[in-house]
Amino acid sequence: MTNEEYMPSYEELTVPELKLTSPELRAGALYFGKFCDDTCKEFMLCRSETGDRRKCVNEGKEVTRCGFQFFGKVKKHCLPEFTQYYKCIDRVWFNELGYAQCRDLQHPFDECVKEKIGVERPYVGYFSKRRLYTNDRPEPPPEEIMIKRSTTMPPTKEELNERKLQSIVRPRGHLFSQSFGTRVFREESGEPIPHEKEES
The confidence score (pLDDT) of residue 93 equals 67
Q: Looking at the structure, tell me whether residues 23 and 120 fall in a common domain.
A: yes
What is the residue type of 1?
M
pLDDT higher than threshold 70 for residue 197: no
Does any domain span residue 8? no
Both 86 and 164 in a single domain?
no
Can you tell me the distance from the alpha carbon of 65 to that of 59, in angstroms, rounded to the nearest whole number?
10
Per the domain annotation, does 5 fall within a domain? no
Give the Cα separation of 67 and 15 in Å (integer). Answer: 12
How many beta carbons lie within 10 A of that of residue 81, not counting itself? 21
Residue 141 covered by a domain = no
Domain annotation covers residue 138: no
pLDDT above 50 for 81: yes
Q: What is the pLDDT of residues 4-63, one digit of tens each?
A: 777 888 888 888 888 999 999 999 999 999 999 999 999 998 888 888 888 889 999 999
Domain count, the chain: 2
Residue 84 lies in a domain: yes
Domain finish residue from 96, 129, 162? 129
Cα(107)–Cα(100) distance, integer angstroms: 12
Q: Taking each helix axis as running N to C, give the angle between helix 79-90 and helix 22-35, from 0 to 180 degrees, rounded to the nearest 10.
A: 130
Same domain for 124 and 34: yes
41 and 96 inside one domain? yes
- 155 within domain boundaries: yes
124 and 151 in a single domain? The answer is no
Tell me: do 76 and 174 sit in the same domain: no
- What pLDDT shows up at residue 88? 93
Q: Say if residue 164 is in the same domain as residue 74.
A: no
Range of the domain at 109: 17-129
- Write down the pTM of the prediction: 0.65
Q: What is the pLDDT of residue 184?
A: 44
CA gap 20, 110 in Å, rounded: 19
